[in-house]
A and B are shown apart, each in its own frame.
Chain A
Amino acid sequence: MADFFFYKDDQEILNFCCKYLARFNTDLRHSYGPPGSSATRDRFAEVWRFPVVGSYGGGAPAITSPTDSSNYNEVTFIYAGADEQSPVSVSVIGTFNTLYNPLPMHRANFDGAPTRYFSVTYVVPQGQTHRYRFMVDDAYPVNDPINPQEVQLDNGAVWSRFFTDAFTSPLVMESWELDLLYRLSAEILPFQTADDTNFLNRFYDFLDRSGRDNLYANVYRMDDSVGEVNFIDNILAREERQHLADYKVCLRIIDRVLRQRNPFVEPAKMTRDIYFDLYNDMASNQVGGWDYTAYSSPQYFLYLLRRHVVTGAFCHPKYGGNAGAAGWAYLSERYNTPSTVPGQPPATLFDWRRSLEPPLGINKDYLG
């Protein structure tokens, strides 16, 4: 297993740190949670960036095939010590490695002088989640003081957690919430007409025939969506965890409102008309049966949901939405201009492959 880790050069580690961890805010400027929190992470911006999950381009001796690169992520663990002398040693343990085997972290230098930042980079397959802890000066393992993601084990213990790109299992939502979200998002996106459903079917059929199984292994839950619900689950677990409470409260209210409007059908199976009516009511902030004491603005939740659904449908697939780039392919086919050459198909106005690196795109000028 040892061959799956390596140490990045100091410059790159310090790049990760300088904008976020290097600041010394004494107040809790970055707390989006309840007041009174005093967690270390509330002093730093964008703590969700840690550990740093990045694209893998080589460096781990165990992975020799260049074609494997796109199936992996580099996960760089960073621990900020008290100062340039203390602690003396830091290591990381986690389920990505053998759990009993601490992985030593290196102290980064700047201009020949030590800094307070320790790091190690481990190469982890995409689509995985793992728990980890730091061992500081060989003491009992502690959670990452920066990364806000935590997971509770069956024995009650809470560990730090991360997940890699294109992760497709629910992280924070329950199955009934996901079912309701499918319906809510499906009525927002343009894939509901017969033509557009036909497009998605053709698109995924084409993917199967092309045999690029490794690239599109994460295409799933594709009945009538492009993975936007999965994206929402991912972003609520990491980048926008401040909105998890909005979803938990509002999905409960929406479930109740829909059941009041039709007591005989499960909300996820109700007709489109009921959803359209609900959206219209939410847009006007006047929803019969809505619990305004629990959540004052259904209008705001509709805005939030629409932003997440649209972002999820058209973001880079590594964020868990736009599976297999189906959202981009839809735009590519939808927006085109007639060909100037007789007999040739129309030219697209949205040639996304040209601007994206392989394997999804064909651009070799940029590898990020």
Chain B
Amino acid sequence: MADRFDVIVIGSGAGGAPIAHVLAKAGKSVLVLEKGPLLRPQYQTSNGRSEFKREELLSDGPEKRVQIPVANVGQSYYSSHVEPDLNDEPHVYLDADGKDKATIEGYTAQLAGGGTNLYGGVSFRYSPLDFKLADFNAGRTDLKADPNGDVPRNARNWPIAYGNLEPYYTKPRNWLASTGLAPTSKSRSPKMCISRPSILIRSALTPMKG
């Protein structure tokens, strides 16, 4: 096994896999590091059973307890079989009370392919308007549920426009063999992109084999 690479990508999910794919296609030697297992679907295993097991105990696993030195030590938490264990990976946040606490919230899947294993296959594009929310909301008085004017005060314009991102919406759409409407300049609604998640996992692994 080679021990020198042009690029090392940490994580094989929706972020890492496309980057590794592009770099490998460009002729770079790429190592993708993934801490989770490569769970294969039933049509790829020798016994015809999916390696992605449902945690039918409930949607998550049995009770565990935080054992690391944080403010919520001893607290119960429940993690599924594709999530990391908090006592291995603390995942600490600063709570409103100023104390460090560990949480399982925010994890998706620790697997080859990352969260795409749990991906519903629906991806929304931002609309052109989403990049100009400050302009759009400036001076508005018709926001009924916003008595303190939070929306106009906090809305921001992005430093880039929809057109800057459009090529990067189109590329993965083609990789994933997804369907959806082509964006039009008149439309203000987000475009939906429906795809098959397993394709992304496969594209993540292709550079490794190549």
Contacts and interface: CB of A to CB of B under 8 A. Distances in A.
Interface of A: 8-9, 11-12, 14-16, 18-19, 23, 25, 29-32, 45-46, 48, 54-59, 74, 111-113, 235, 239-240, 242-243, 311, 315-316, 318-319, 366-368
B105 interface: no
Interface stretch (B62-70, B143-151, B166-174, B185-193): B62-70
B47 A32 contact: no
Contacts of A48: 62
B51 interface: yes
7 contacts: A18-B36, A31-B67, A32-B67, A54-B53, A58-B48, A59-B47, A366-B54
Given A29-B68, A318-B56, A18 B61 contact: no
B75 interface: no
B57 interface: yes
A18 B39 CA distance: 12
Given A367-B50, A368-B54, A15 B38 contact: yes
Interface in B12-32: none
A120 to B, nearest CB: 15
Nearest to A32: B65
A23 B85 CA distance: 11
Contacts of A111: 1
B1 A242 contact: no
Most chain A CB within 10 A, of B47, B52, B61, B64, is at B47
A239 B37 CA distance: 21
Given A55-B49, A311-B57, A18 B67 contact: no
A326 to B, nearest CB: 15
B53 A316 contact: no
B57 A239 contact: yes
Contact of A57 (B35, B48, B53, B56): B48
Contacts of A23: 88
Contact of A18 (B37, B54, B62): B37
Given A29-B68, A30-B67, A112-B1, 19 more contacts: A9-B46, A12-B45, A12-B51, A15-B38, A15-B39, A18-B35, A19-B36, A23-B88, A29-B67, A29-B88, A48-B62, A58-B47, A74-B47, A242-B63, A315-B58, A319-B56, A366-B42, A368-B42, A368-B52
B99 interface: no
B58 A311 contact: yes
A48 B61 CA distance: 12
Contacts, number: 91
Contacts of B57: 235, 239, 311, 315-316, 319
Contacts of B63: 240, 242-243
A45 B64 CA distance: 10
Contacts of A58: 46-48
B49 A240 contact: no
Interface in B84-108: 84-85, 87-88
Interface residues of B, number: 33
Interface of B: 1, 35-40, 42, 45-54, 56-58, 61-65, 67-68, 84-85, 87-88, 110
B57 to A, nearest CB: 5
A9 to B, nearest CB: 6
A14 B88 contact: no
Contacts of A240: 62-63
A48 B63 CA distance: 12
Contacts of B51: 12, 15
A-B CB proximity, top 9 nearest: A316-B56, A57-B47, A15-B37, A239-B62, A45-B85, A57-B49, A29-B87, A368-B50, A57-B48
Contact of B65 (A18, A59, A242, A368): A242
Contacts of B47: 56-59, 74
A30 B57 CA distance: 21
B51 to A, nearest CB: 6
A15 B46 CA distance: 14
A19 B39 CA distance: 12
A58 B65 CA distance: 37
A362 to B, nearest CB: 16
Nearest to B43: A367
A367 B1 CA distance: 34
Nearest to A60: B47
Contacts of A368: 42, 49-50, 52-54
A366 B38 contact: no
A59 to B, nearest CB: 5
B15 to A, nearest CB: 20
Given A240-B62, A315-B57, A366-B50, A46 B85 contact: yes
Contacts of B68: 29
A319 B57 CA distance: 7
B42 A235 contact: no
A312 B47 CA distance: 29
A12 B46 CA distance: 10
A60 B204 CA distance: 33
